[in-house]
Structure 1
């Protein structure tokens, strides 16, 4: 394995997330991020990413956090926001056409506000990989010609890049990196959630202080030196597409 995509999820979730991801990119190893288009102040959020050199940016598809961009009702709670993740785990009947239109609107809104295409997509709580939504996932990948965070059974027109999804604060260490770089694939994505822990993040996410631990790890000189010593290239989906 020669290349790592270190992708920070949840850009837009809070100011602490945004500033942590940006600093983790500028001073550390974060090479990619995905934006939650359903968060408040999305225009301000997208503006933070303008003129940020060398950071891959994709879309973090949502139907479990924030407020919908479309009029779909099957994923909407009584207060108008998205239903929570547990409702999908317990078999909620969700209209797939409404989900497709909502995710399409999230991608299209990114393109409109950012003035460019996203370089990949994934989703909040891995919702795009639930069996009921795999058809939508494949359709969007083909329609926009975008790579996505995927598992081997998700067949798309994009090359398979495995994602290490078990990285979190409790195993943010060199031993975990040693495990990842021995994976057989040439390129591997690492899913991470770095952030500065602000009050808003604590109010909306149970995974909050741990995000600072992840951020510190990716900015630690020992982490950087370890990857350099093993000749690992830090990359993103934009760079892969150009290679």
Structure 2
């Protein structure tokens, strides 16, 4: 079986971190209203009002579960700087035993159940904060939950192609290669490629030279630069 991709749409713009803080929610909803966003990745344990839930549901865009381990929500939180510090923090938790797969599975199931309770349906897709779902021991959990909750879409695009050369893209590319067999056997549906908006130095040039298969572009609208770029270019 081959990994299934969606060739019908060349670009899939996904806004991550809904629920992180009020600014993230506000900016994402503004972009949704402008028709700039295709999918919203929701941190179900975060700060989400009934009004915001209604606005998302009535927009009829895809609503994904944005799995999280750290559960850090803050009004002033942007993005932790530096791939080294983020990766170091994550690996420290893994090797210290704080992130045992059994505990992560239980926590992620709780987050999906919370999503269902708030939105009245299963998520349309599954991804994670800091891409932690792609680490092999956690990717197996991701696939298990995908099947249990009949979640049709998984963030699994290849992050390695022209017009960016970021360390994190190389790490994700390696993780994808490790997980490819499992994902293929589970009939995963995903984009062909994956890129974070902040990896792209020249957006106009990037858009002129897109890969032939679909590309998922991940943005974080709580960051003003991402918010303005999505408004301008997409």
Q: TM-score, normalised by structure 1?
A: 0.68
> Closer, same or farther in 2 for the Cα pair 1:177/1:65, shift >3 Å?
farther
> Closer, same or farther in 2 for the Cα pair 1:51/1:161, shift >3 Å?
closer
| In the alignment, structure 1 residue 86 sits paired with structure 2 residue 88 | yes
Range moving further from structure 2, 150-159 or 140-149: 150-159
**Which of residues 62, 78, 91 in structure 1 aligns to 2:68?**
62
**Which of residues 83, 99, 105 in structure 2 aligns to 1:100?**
105
Residue deviations 1:200-222 (CA, integer Å, cap 9, x gap): xxxxxxxxxxx2222112212xx
Alignment of 1:117-128 (within 5 A): 117-128=122-133
Partners of 1:172 and 1:214 within 8 A in 2: no
Partners of 2:104 and 2:121 in 1: how far apart? Answer: 23
| Number of residue equivalences | 187
Alignment of 1:177-192 (within 5 A): 177-179=207-209, 181=210, 183-185=211-213, 187-192=214-219
2:108 is paired with a residue of what secondary structure?
A: helix
Cα displacement (A) at 1:170: 6.1
Partners of 1:162 and 1:192 in 2: how far apart? Answer: 17
Unaligned runs of 5+ in 2: 1-6, 74-85, 157-175
Partners of 1:48 and 1:171 in 2: how far apart? Answer: 35
Residue deviations 1:142-169 (CA, integer Å, cap 9, x gap): 2122121114525133224234233217
Unaligned runs of 5+ in 1: 68-83, 196-210, 225-243
Partners of 2:148 and 2:60 in 1: how far apart? Answer: 25
RMSD: 2.5
Partners of 1:115 and 1:159 in 2: how far apart? Answer: 23
Counterpart in 1 of 2:166?
none
Moved beyond 6 Å, runs of 4+:
none
Q: TM-score, normalised by structure 2?
A: 0.70
Range moving further from structure 2, 147-156 or 44-53: 44-53
Residue deviations 1:35-54 (CA, integer Å, cap 9, x gap): 11232x44547535444323
Partners of 1:92 and 1:45 in 2: how far apart? Answer: 40
Cα displacement (A) at 1:86: 3.3
Counterpart in 1 of 2:15?
8
